[in-house]
Amino acid sequence: MTLAVIQMVSQADIRANLGTARRLLERAAEGGARLAVLPENFAAMGRTDITTVGRDEAQGRGPILPWLSQVAKDLGLWIVAGTLPLPPDDEPQGMVRACSLLVDDRGQRVARYDKLHLFDADVSDARGRYRESDSYAAGQRLVVVDTPVGRLGMTVCYDLRFAELFTALRLAGAELISAPSAFTAATGQAHWEMLIRTRAIETQCYMLAAGQGGEHPGGRMTHGHSSIVDYWGRVLHEQANGEAALVANRDAAAQVEARRRMPVLNHRRFTEPRIVSGTLE
């Protein structure tokens, strides 16, 4: 059960990004990976025309979706396609979502996850202000799906700050969780590793954290430090900056045993706490 995460430094040229992604996915496949996770905005980082990009893809005029299907077939690889802008399936003219697609080794789409939590924050970097909600609509549902390497829960980047999402994924049977990301350099330095390892520990899942790691259009800097972290919070593989294809094995038997020995789901005391008269109920 071999897993891979891909780190990129994507730019605004979609076709160049796809060429880079293919080269890194080939490296992952050569390392024995059955499933690989691309980073957030792997194909269209820094584009200002994401609505057009997304609608073109939805209407069959864009290069990303055909490329994704072909490379999955060519490499015999299940791929979590980081994120790309796509409108809802049932509303092709609607506002785009930050969409993470899972395709199987035949190039067929298996699942779609639209990022639930949008990054609207002020950050102490050169850009200063991020407002994803200006360009994207938020997703509405959890996604957990079976793959050849285990039951996969899907998340994206800013989702990492919302523990209740990860608890819900574990309750839905997740054994590994994808987290394609483009953390800013400032927030990543402060919180990235702690968040990835904490989410792994509290869910007893493998975390597949595929990041952007370098400088992008407009001078935006991303943190990198893509990693594969196991159910015990151990970092199995990590890359600080630049391009990388990281590969590690999932030990399913050891994960099951760890969950048996420490059955944290059985020890939960509450699911939806309420504040009553100043106390937690």
Residue 85 near residue 98 (C-beta atoms within 8 A): yes
Q: How many residues does the chain have?
A: 281
Burial code of 143-177, b = ≥16 C-beta within 10 A, e = fewer?
Answer: bbbebebbbbbbbbbbbbeeeebbbbbbeeebbbb
Which of 99, 157, 238, 243 is catalytic? The answer is 157
Q: Which residues contact 218 (CB under 8 A, 6 or more apart)?
A: 46, 127
Q: Which residues pair with 103 in a beta bridge?
A: 79, 109
Beta strand 176-178 pairing with 150-154: parallel
Residue 97 near residue 87 (C-beta atoms within 8 A): yes
Q: Which residues pair with 111 in a beta bridge?
A: 102
Distance between CA 81 and CA 110 in Å, rounded? 11
Distance between CA 165 and CA 82 in Å, rounded? 18
Angle at 145 between CA 79 and CA 33, to 5 degrees: 35
* Catalytic site includes residue 115: yes
* Catalytic site includes residue 157: yes
Q: How far is CA 50 from CA 14, 58, 99, 101, 265, in A?
A: 11, 12, 12, 17, 40
CA 11 from chain center: how many Å? Answer: 18
CA 260 from chain center: how many Å? Answer: 27
Which of 115, 175, 238, 243 is catalytic? The answer is 115
Residues known to be catalytic: 40, 115, 157
